[in-house]
Amino acid sequence: MRRTRILIADSLPIFRSGVRNLLARESDFEVVESSTFDELVREVATDCPDIALVDLELPPRGGVTAVSYLAERCSAHTIVWSFEPSRETVLRAIRAGASGYLHKEISPPGLVRSLRGVVRGEAPLARDLASLMIEALHGLEERDRARERASVLSAREREVLELVAQGARNKQVAAALEISEFTVKRHMQNILQKLGLPSRRAAAAFYRSAYEPEEVLAAAVETA
Amino acid sequence: MTAAEPADAAQRPPLVVVLCRVGLLYEALSPALAGIADVRRLPSDAGDTAGLLRWIRPDAIVVDSQEEADEAMTFAREAKAPLIQVRLRERKLLVLRNGGWEEPENGNASAEAIRNIVLGGLFGRDQ
């Protein structure tokens, strides 16, 4: 029987030895290890693993870099794991090419089940992380809609609104864009009218919902 | 109540209890202490850890959370049992010494480092 080759890439020895000892009891896995990105590169150059379990904080540049590297050079299924990831982190890892994301608190039998699932073509994702992903996708949809609404604004109006969203007063907007305060006021009136918003504050909040938060989500929208 | 009575110690290996949220900590530690100690994992956050430890009377305790460390501290002091706190997120070890937490030299978070501290606490001649 061909054994599934698992690469555990984690700088913390506890996790490497924990996974190694755990999988040593299973006849269908073999384990190789790396504690840094450079070691991972050397390991992959020798032989591409079937599955790479990569720590989000793999030194020196983090696990997502390793995921991108593996996605480009190797057919390994990559799973990222960490403590308490944010939804942006999970999205970033998935976008980089990860097949799944797990908590480091995962039970040992749960990890074995997840790895076997990957062999069968499943994408391991902790239940709460799946919820985070759904939330993130809803966030993307809302952002899409907000951006569509914002498309009625002219380029200049968007510039004005961006500064307003950053907290700039009319005088500051006028100085930044080298236009008169009167023109800024006129732009603001047009912005509120076009977007159907009642106030400057509402317009600022609208802009932030469309563009500002979470660069990763914004990037995901662009690539969707 | 004290940890291991001398008579017990002659008949059985030391009991090391691992109170952990991260199950892989136990997976890493268990083989490192194989043949030297009996290592048992207890569920973390099960409630009344101090009471549980008084009943089990382990010879050494390893925990991976501040909450469990606080709970285990009372028993460890009473029984003079080594207590090691593994802070995985911060990648460091802390040992209960003289009533406070100390970071041991070469205390990287590896199974071997934890084993050494446990055995030092159990068998060290300066104890």
**Topology alike, domains A4-125 and A140-223:** yes
- Helix runs in chain A, H state only: 13-24, 37-46, 63-73, 87-96, 108-119, 127-150, 155-165, 170-177, 181-195, 200-210, 215-223
Q: What is the ipTM of this complex?
A: 0.88
CA distance A23 to A33: 12
pLDDT level of residue B113 (50, 70, 90 thresholds)? very high
Measured between CA atoms, how close is B25 to chain A, in angstroms? 6
Size of interface A-B (CB pairs under 8 A): 57
CATH number of the domain that residue B24 is part of: 3.40.50.2300
Measured between CA atoms, how close is A142 to chain B, in angstroms? 34
Contact across the interface for B28 and A83, Cβ inside 8 Å:
no
Does A60 sit behind a cis peptide bond, omega within 30 degrees of 0 on the bond before it?
yes
Q: What is the mean pLDDT of residues B73-82?
A: 93
- Give Cβ neighbours of residue A80 (< 8 Å, ≥ 6 apart): A54, A55, A56, A63, A64, A67, A93, A98, A100, A101, A102
pLDDT level of residue B108 (50, 70, 90 thresholds)? confident
pLDDT > 80? residue A68: yes
Report which of residues A200 and B105 the model is more confident about: A200
Strand partners, A32: A7
Tell me the three state secondary structure of residue B57.
coil
Nearest CA in chain A to B26: A18
User: Which site among A21, A23, A25 would you substitute to test the B interface, given the most B Cβ atoms closer than 10 Å to its Cβ?
Assistant: A21
Contact across the interface for A14 and B21, Cβ inside 8 Å:
no
pLDDT > 60? residue A106: yes
Contact across the interface for B32 and A18, Cβ inside 8 Å:
no
Contacts of B28 in chain A (CB under 8 A): 13-15, 17-18, 21
Domain extents in chain A: 4-125, 140-223
CATH topology of domain A4-125: Rossmann fold (3.40.50)
Q: Average pLDDT over chain B, rounded to whole?
A: 88
Per-residue model confidence (pLDDT) at position B9:
52
Contact across the interface for A111 and B111, Cβ inside 8 Å:
no
- Give Cβ neighbours of residue A187 (< 8 Å, ≥ 6 apart): A156, A157, A160
Nearest alpha carbon to residue B120 among B81, B68, B89, B69? B81
Contact across the interface for B32 and A83, Cβ inside 8 Å:
no
Structural domain span for residue B112: 6-123
Report which of residues A224 and B95 the model is more confident about: B95
Q: What is the DSSP letter of A125?
A: B
pLDDT > 50? residue B8: yes
Contact across the interface for B109 and A83, Cβ inside 8 Å:
no
Let me know if residue B1 belongs to a domain: no
Nearest CA in chain A to B21: A105
The answer as to CATH 3.40.50.300 being correct for domain A140-223 is no
Per-residue model confidence (pLDDT) at position A220:
46
Per-residue model confidence (pLDDT) at position A86:
86
Contact across the interface for A17 and B111, Cβ inside 8 Å:
yes
pTM for the full predicted model: 0.76
Question: Number of structural domains, chain B?
Answer: 1
